[in-house]
Structure 1
Amino acid sequence: MALLRSARFPALLLLIAAALGLILANSPVADAAFAAKGAYVGIPGVFTLSVGHWIADGLLAVFFFVAAVELQYELTNGQLNSPRKALQPIIAAAGGVLIPIAVYVAIAGSGETAAGWPIPTATDIAFALGVLAVFGKGLPSGLRVFLLALAILDDIVGILFIAVLFTSDVDLLMLGAAVVLLVVFRLLSAQLGGRGSRAIAVLMVVVAAAVWFFVHESGVHATIAGVALGLVMHQQPALRTRHALEPWVNAIVLPVFALAASLVAIPQVSPTDLSPAFWGVAVALPLGKIVGISLAGWLSMFLGGTKLPFGDVLAAGALGGIGFTVSLLMSELAFSDDAATRDQATLGVLAGSAISLLLAAGLVSWRSWHYRRLAPQTVSTPVAPAT
């Protein structure tokens, strides 16, 4: 379990799963793989979803629950619990959202590809931290803290995009039922730890599943149920639950989603025939993120943010371009009615994230080399706040 809680191994699993998805989709067993993803599972006549939707709407809701618990902690007790702590990552995250959108719109902002503008706004926390752990030996803790806060804020933006942009024909009755059950879930979570905790925990699982069902049936994307459950759960049991779920999310949820989402047939066309959606995402992730995050992060230092060195902010910008999980989800949602464009956007996510990964590896290695040249006490000391 310790291996699955580390930063490096889960990132490796994600990379292997994505590569396996591409290999399967372009191999002799491609038809079988696509058929398996499209097969419907559930209770016939009552509630069924395709395997792909169970993964994207169901399994991924568990990932969003875990992310929301971390977000709740950071907002109350962690790195985002005061305006001063949050200032630099907030401004950097804003740059890391707005500039990639501008790059995408400049390349693919017209016609049927225009809907893909939210895709390059996300940062994959697990992948980015994994690359930092592999190549960042000797870096000060300030860089990891900055990257974590930045990625969490990116997740907030991604969650808002999913909730607002990809929701239609909301059934208010179903949504109201979900809200009522969320209150019940919150009250039950406050009771954990005393006598009868096991029975309460089982009841909470049932209530959580019901919340997910009602959110799904309301027309709101079902992953929002995971976010809501993670934010309303009482913090102490929430942190224990996150600790218990983390290995399973890293070992199963994220790799299975990465495999399913990257199950894309590579088009046999020349680069000039690729969709603008591909180029928009593939360019906006590495270029838009590193320019947006590093420029905004640097400007924030003049507004009272922590003085993280510009070289560190530049490395964080490259890490922010590793979109992957949430970007893959948004490519599926943005082009849900256009399979060809969706596949090209997905390839753009994989290509842009791969470029960002290589760029980040180089910049993080450079920063690591830089700090190893300094005195030992400097290497182990976090970046001092601004005075």
Structure 2
Amino acid sequence: MTLLRSARFPAILLLAAAACGLLLANTSAAGGAFFVQGLPLGIPGTPFFHTVGEWISDALLVAFFFTVAVELQFELTAGQLRSVRRAVLPAIAAAGGVAVPVAAYLIVAAPAGLAAGWPVPTATDIAFALGVLAVFGRGLPPAVRVFLLALAILDDIIGIVFIAVLFAHDVSIGMLVLGVVLAAAFAMLSRMLGGRWGRALVAVMFVLAVGVWAAVLASGVHATIAGVLLGLAIAQQPGLRVRHVLEPWVNGVVLPLFALSAALVTIPMVGAGGLSPVFWGIVVALPVGKLLGITGAGWVAQRALRVPVAARLGLADLVAAGCLGGIGFTVSLLLANLAFAGDADLRDQAVLGVLCGSMVSLVLAGIVVSWRAHHHRRLAA
């Protein structure tokens, strides 16, 4: 369990799962893999009837978003984002890290009428970013780590907003209100834990959590938003304890299963010219757009906010942050599946673009972070 709570191993496991998915989809095992992914499960004729692959993203991934939301709640109330002064610099950098990739994607894909994929390259995978920092970042000063963590968390917020707003369909206001009411009851009970009724309250909270998930799923809003609601609603200390319990399961089961399922993509047997603008738009937007957006916005923000010279991050440190920001992976894969849900070919091209763009960013981040860490260790010596 300790290994699954570390920053390094889960990132390696996630990458291995995605590679396994690509391998399965492009070998003789493809038929069996796609058969399992497409098996229908649930109650026919209801919103609770999906394939195995859809259940992975609609149910299992809720646990991941719950842990992200608990961490977000902590950072906003007691952590690095608890004041406007602390949050404004990474917030501006995160905004640049969204706007420039969107522009880069649209420049490549919009002329072909494929603008729908613009949200895909906006996300940063916090697990991968922290994994790269853990592997290559020994010696980076605390200010750099804090900036990178805040940037990744803010990026997750943006991704969550996109999922909630852009990919809701035929929304049932009644079911959505029911989900919010149940989440409020869940929040109230989480603040009453302790004493002789503690276990009974936990059981009721579990039932309420399932109810929130079912209501959000039935409402037409993507089910992962239920995890966000619950993670933001739960009292901080119980939330952190639940996150601690869930963390190895999320890192060791949920995210690898999602990565494997999302990466079940048949690589088209075409030359580079046969690949869709969707693929090229994402491949350019993740490593290049994120790098330029985060670095440029961070550099301008430090000067506009008149951050003291001694407290500023160096341009090279901002470049390291920009490289890490291009590792989209988990949330980008989910956005790719949502943006092109109605077109399997474009969805596969988008997934390939996320995998390729993230790998380019991963390699660049490893090189730049190692260089900056070595530089700071030498200065410290």
Per mean C-alpha deviation after superposition, the further-off stretch among 10-19 and 47-56 is 47-56
* Separation (CA, whole Å) in 2 of partners of 1:307 and 1:315: 14
Match for residue 157 of structure 1?
Answer: 158
For 2:246, the aligned partner's letter is L
Secondary structure of 2:379's aligned partner:
coil
2:361 is equivalent to residue 356 of structure 1: yes
Secondary structure of 2:152's aligned partner:
helix
Q: TM-score, normalised by structure 1?
A: 0.95
Contact 1:65 1:226 (C-alpha < 8 Å) held by counterparts: yes
Match for residue 113 of structure 1?
Answer: 114
* Separation (CA, whole Å) in 1 of partners of 2:45 and 2:177: 24
Contact 1:163 1:224 (C-alpha < 8 Å) held by counterparts: yes
* Separation (CA, whole Å) in 2 of partners of 1:263 and 1:304: 48
Match for residue 85 of structure 1?
Answer: 86
Match for residue 382 of structure 1?
Answer: none
* Separation (CA, whole Å) in 1 of partners of 2:286 and 2:151: 15
Per mean C-alpha deviation after superposition, the further-off stretch among 120-129 and 194-203 is 194-203
Matches within 5 A, 1:274-353: 274-302=275-303, 303-305=305-307, 307-353=312-358
Deviation at 1:72, TM superposition (A): 0.4
Match for residue 4 of structure 1?
Answer: 4
Match for residue 374 of structure 1?
Answer: 379
* Separation (CA, whole Å) in 1 of partners of 2:194 and 2:2: 25
Match for residue 246 of structure 1?
Answer: 247
For 1:20, the aligned partner's letter is C
Contact 1:322 1:353 (C-alpha < 8 Å) held by counterparts: yes
Q: 1:175-223, CA deviations, whole angstroms, 9 ceiling, x for partnerless residues? A: 1111110111011111112222112112111110110011010101100
For 1:286, the aligned partner's letter is P
Match for residue 268 of structure 1?
Answer: 269
* Separation (CA, whole Å) in 2 of partners of 1:91 and 1:255: 31
Secondary structure of 1:287's aligned partner:
helix
Matches within 5 A, 1:214-253: 214-253=215-254
Match for residue 32 of structure 2?
Answer: 32
Contact 1:208 1:229 (C-alpha < 8 Å) held by counterparts: yes
Match for residue 179 of structure 1?
Answer: 180
Contact 2:139 2:373 (C-alpha < 8 Å) held by counterparts: yes
* Separation (CA, whole Å) in 2 of partners of 1:319 and 1:310: 14
For 2:17, the aligned partner's letter is A
Q: 1:100-149, CA deviations, whole angstroms, 9 ceiling, x for partnerless residues? A: 00000000024442100000000000001101111111111222211111
**Across the two proteins, how many residue pairs are aligned to each other?**
376
Secondary structure of 2:82's aligned partner:
coil
Per mean C-alpha deviation after superposition, the further-off stretch among 183-192 and 298-307 is 298-307
Secondary structure of 1:49's aligned partner:
strand
For 1:59, the aligned partner's letter is L
* Separation (CA, whole Å) in 1 of partners of 2:348 and 2:356: 12
* Separation (CA, whole Å) in 1 of partners of 2:239 and 2:65: 13
Match for residue 131 of structure 2?
Answer: 130
For 2:74, the aligned partner's letter is Y
Deviation at 1:24, TM superposition (A): 0.3
For 1:298, the aligned partner's letter is W
For 1:165, the aligned partner's letter is L
Moved over 6 A (4+): none
Q: 1:11-60, CA deviations, whole angstroms, 9 ceiling, x for partnerless residues? A: 00001000000000001010110111110122456632211111111111
* Separation (CA, whole Å) in 2 of partners of 1:138 and 1:228: 36
Secondary structure of 2:273's aligned partner:
helix
* Separation (CA, whole Å) in 1 of partners of 2:107 and 2:43: 46
Secondary structure of 2:264's aligned partner:
coil
Contact 1:84 1:304 (C-alpha < 8 Å) held by counterparts: no
* Separation (CA, whole Å) in 1 of partners of 2:266 and 2:331: 20
Contact 2:328 2:354 (C-alpha < 8 Å) held by counterparts: yes
Q: TM-score, normalised by structure 2?
A: 0.97
Secondary structure of 1:229's aligned partner:
helix
Match for residue 383 of structure 1?
Answer: none
2:43 is equivalent to residue 69 of structure 1: no
For 2:34, the aligned partner's letter is F
For 2:204, the aligned partner's letter is L
Secondary structure of 1:170's aligned partner:
coil
* Separation (CA, whole Å) in 2 of partners of 1:197 and 1:273: 60
Contact 1:14 1:255 (C-alpha < 8 Å) held by counterparts: yes
For 1:182, the aligned partner's letter is A
For 1:236, the aligned partner's letter is Q
For 1:329, the aligned partner's letter is L
Per mean C-alpha deviation after superposition, the further-off stretch among 35-44 and 275-284 is 35-44
Q: 1:332-377, CA deviations, whole angstroms, 9 ceiling, x for partnerless residues? A: 000000000000000000000000000001100110111121134x
* Separation (CA, whole Å) in 2 of partners of 1:216 and 1:28: 35
* Separation (CA, whole Å) in 1 of partners of 2:295 and 2:195: 48
Secondary structure of 1:193's aligned partner:
coil
* Separation (CA, whole Å) in 2 of partners of 1:112 and 1:263: 26
